[in-house]
Structure 1
């Protein structure tokens, strides 16, 4: 099969939800980044076979958001587009969907990406309130409408927060933070260890910003709330003392806090990928290559271990080991989740129980999330998969290294792992 080439990528700054990108809907944010990336690439819009975008919230006003983004970004009406959804791996799913099309000879050049405006995930009505509204709409008499209204109770008006329902696993019934508490308990990861990991994420991200590491991959966004040029979730000069003052939010006796969890955020990230022969035909310089990828399923209430399961599958198929990996981006949904993976990767006991004794090995912290992760930068759920692929390729090239692993956990009990090379 032909090599899969990543030509280039671009992303927006990641903004804290309800902040600087609050007034920009997901399709608008995605179209800004998509248009800028295509223009920078110099590739004619007509060369693209399709646009594939990952998104979790699926805005009702922009059905099939990928098509809306494509048209707004300047693609011709004749260019098809579709949206994919695999929770936190939606951005990665856009990539693998395009790869499958390239390998099956359905196309050669694709714009892929992920976008999420968590600020604009709507509030929902309760079922009781919806039933009353339906009754009223089906009744013509004002007297009957008023009579129906008398059935309304104050509790019926309590909104259902779409963001919370979207981050709650429908199988286990647990919000994602509870699954993080599960892993903290199973692997005996205490609060201070989690806070220390979170602190290091902020410090690494702060250093990266100071050294202008992210500038190459970020396109500024201008909005009514003011211009945003860099990720605004990084807490400058963060301290353990400040993190230690935060209350636990998912379990009164737990260890997971807002400070050692990923942030709720807005953002978009896009990539141009194609077959190697298409890159040569258009004389395009590759940013890097996607060598292989794997998705895996696991218990929903331990979804945070998804990177472990997906990486086992990927390494078995690709015949490689951790020793072959130069850099790793492991999405930081929660500090306890990352730390649990670090323990499980090297655990003989866990390998004996789940992987026929095959141990992946110990991850070197020096190559893990070298510029911080989602705890500091934020986690716009549909965008994060493409963000870590883009950043990992850029960082491999910057450091003159060769092979990287991009991996994340997925709400609902899945994992995704991508093997990258420059």
Structure 2
């Protein structure tokens, strides 16, 4: 099998909803990180660009990857594809890019982008003549234009409600969720992440503003976390403090064959190994990584307990703990999200999978590690997992 190398990783800072990156369109953010890779490696000949994006009904014109190519310094002859598996879209872009390299491409740029701030409202067309009803939905996150058969068979619980289901099914206490959230904030290392960040310049009437740091991390205490309300269920345990944020950002990586690495003088961070996806009940979508990793292991990957590096997207502390406990890991296992995760950093849906793949590759490249697990849960009940290997 053709070896695929993950080489460079560049990303924007992660902005809060309505925050520092709110004025940036998703196609502009994606183009920005593509150009950042071109700045690192002048003379790249890119075979294809693949990006993940969950909210594809707005400014990105449904194929944000192609728009980003046209806005970047890449020639218009570079083809582009946008993939959508909601929260795992960025990781699926990496997996699809690796497949393209295995099929003969020398170099693919893969990544993910999301502006949850700018996700539009959508209005459905009338289903009958002279209809007077108008159904408007916010596309930021969650269900819209629900199929009645889906609702009857599976329900349409919100993402926080599914986390409450996971907490109840797996006996995960509020105290344990808050402790996990506090560790995520404490582990976030701005200095470690700084080398991946490509500052974003915002043009304004009073001059330019440069955003060069993640906006979501915040100092907190266990007392402050315990004082937050749990608004999603009476007697519930899920709060704004032990859940990921609603965020904006973009990330991009270079995937190359051995010939591409040699041709362009690249320095690989990791080798791309096996990948797997799986479906679970939508009401407990957060356990998706457990099913996906089970398939990954069946395909020959190491078990999570034998991995040196684990990047597990923290959609909610409840679902992250359900996964790590299913794998027999301690709640505070140092291998899991060593430099922070979705609770501290935020979760721009389409970006996160690419971001954690880049983070895992960097951790591998630091030495002393042989294999990494990259995995996310997915709304409506799925999980995706990828194995990375040391070079």
TM-score (norm 2): 0.91
TM-superposed deviation, 1:409: 0.5
Structure 2 partner of 1:52:
50
State whether structure 2 residue 289 is matched by structure 1 residue 307.
yes
Shift of 1:345: 2.1
Q: How far apart are residue 319 of structure 1 and its match?
A: 4.8
1:2 aligns to 2:6 (yes or no)? no
Contact 1:261–1:334, Cα closer than 8 Å, also in 2: yes
Quote the offset at 1:322 in angstroms: 3.4
Residue 294 of structure 1, aligned match among 276, 282, 305: 276
State whether residues 169 and 300 of structure 1, in contact with CA within 8 Å, keep that contact through their aligned partners in structure 2: no
Paired residue secondary structure (2:202) = coil
**Alignment map for 1:7-406 (pairs within 5 Å):** 7-44=7-44, 47-63=45-61, 64-105=63-104, 107-125=105-123, 131=126, 159-166=136-143, 171=150, 172=154, 173-205=156-188, 208-209=189-190, 212-224=191-203, 226-236=209-219, 238-346=220-328, 365-406=333-374
CA positional deviation for 1:108: 2.1
Q: CA RMSD in A?
A: 2.3
Whole-Å separation in 2 of the counterparts to 1:329 and 1:345: 14
Deviation string 1:279-321 (CA, Å, 9 cap, x unpaired) is 1233322121111111111111111111111111111212523
Q: Secondary structure in 2 aligned to 1:9?
A: strand
Report the Cα distance in structure 1 between the residues aligned to 2:319 and 2:170, rounded to whole angstroms: 10
Q: What count of residue pairs does the alignment treat as equivalent?
A: 379
Question: As a proportion of its length, which structure holds more helix?
Answer: 1
Gaps of 5+ in 2: none
Structure 1: state its 5+ residue gaps.
136-147, 347-360
**Paired residues of 2:180 and 2:331 also in contact (CA < 8 A):** no
SS in 1 for 2:272: strand
Partner SS state of residue 210, structure 2: coil
SS at match of 1:110: strand
Q: Distance in 2 between matches of 1:167 and 1:215?
A: 37
Please tell me whether Structure 1 or Structure 2 has the larger radius of gyration of its CA atoms. Answer: 1
Per-residue deviation, residues 1-25 of structure 1 (Å, max 9, x unmatched): 1111112110011010111111111
Q: Following TM superposition, by how much is the alpha carbon of 1:400 offset from its aligned partner in structure 2, in angstroms?
A: 3.7
CA distance in 2: counterparts of 1:188 and 1:387, whole angstroms: 30
Separation in 2 of the partners of 1:386 and 1:95? Answer: 7
TM-score by length of 1: 0.84
